[in-house]
Amino acid sequence: MLSQRIAPQRQRPVIMLTTSYLWAAAVGLGATLLMDIWALFVNRAFGIVPASYCLVGRWFCHMRLGTFKHASIANASKRPFECTVGWIAHYVIGALYAVVLVGIVSADWLVRPTLVAALLFGVVTVAVPFLIMQPSFGMGIAAAKVPNPSQARLKRLMAHTVFGVGLYASAVGLSRVHAALF
């Protein structure tokens, strides 16, 4: 056959790298979705209020105006489209986290994901809200200034642990899809 006589073209490393990062971003979107489903479950089952991504959007919108730190993000002036900005940022950040994970452990992880790497990475990502977002929102480092800091910390830790599980579950699912298609 003609197709057997033509040597297959080698993929360029840049194309493979780009494809890996696109797959990683899809894994991050799936993990973020699982984290949101978990938040809905915890809210309905136990009445625990989920994180407000509208406040995240408010924070990002205020950055355009030059304000990066607030005494209280809840008391900062509302911005147009802050909820939309917050939800988009939430999913973009989840996708970027997964790209960072793949950059650390290698693209092979997307084909053979491990739960330990995903869980550890998910737990480590809690440092971002603890050390950057919560202080910028006026909540202090690791929510030290909120009425119940331990509860706030546990909520974030649980959410990021579920994100880690979601990284693994999404990677397993996508690796099976990839194996079936290619």
Instruction: Please report, in tens digits, the pLDDT of each residue of the chain (182 residues total).
Output: 333 443 444 544 544 667 899 999 999 999 999 999 999 999 999 999 999 999 999 999 999 999 999 999 999 999 999 999 999 999 999 999 999 999 999 999 999 999 999 999 999 999 999 999 999 999 999 999 999 999 999 999 999 999 999 999 999 999 998 888 87
pTM reported for the whole predicted model: 0.88
In a domain, 5, yes or no: no
Domain ranges, residue 140: 15-181
In a domain, 3, yes or no: no
Which residue's entry shows tokens 């999404």? 170
In a domain, 102, yes or no: yes
- Residue 105 tokens, joined: 């452990």
Indicate left, alpha or beta for 81 from its phi (over 0: left) and psi (-120 to 50: alpha).
left
- Are the C-beta atoms of residues 89 and 56 closer than 8 Å to each other? yes
In a domain, 6, yes or no: no
In a domain, 107, yes or no: yes
Into how many domains does the chain fold?
1
In a domain, 31, yes or no: yes
Q: What are phi and psi of 88, to 5 degrees?
A: -65, -45
In a domain, 9, yes or no: no
In sequence order, what are the residues at sequence separation of 6 or more whose Cβ sits closer than 8 angstroms to the Cβ of residue 88?
57
142 burial (CB, 10 Å; 0-12 / 13-18 / 19+) is buried
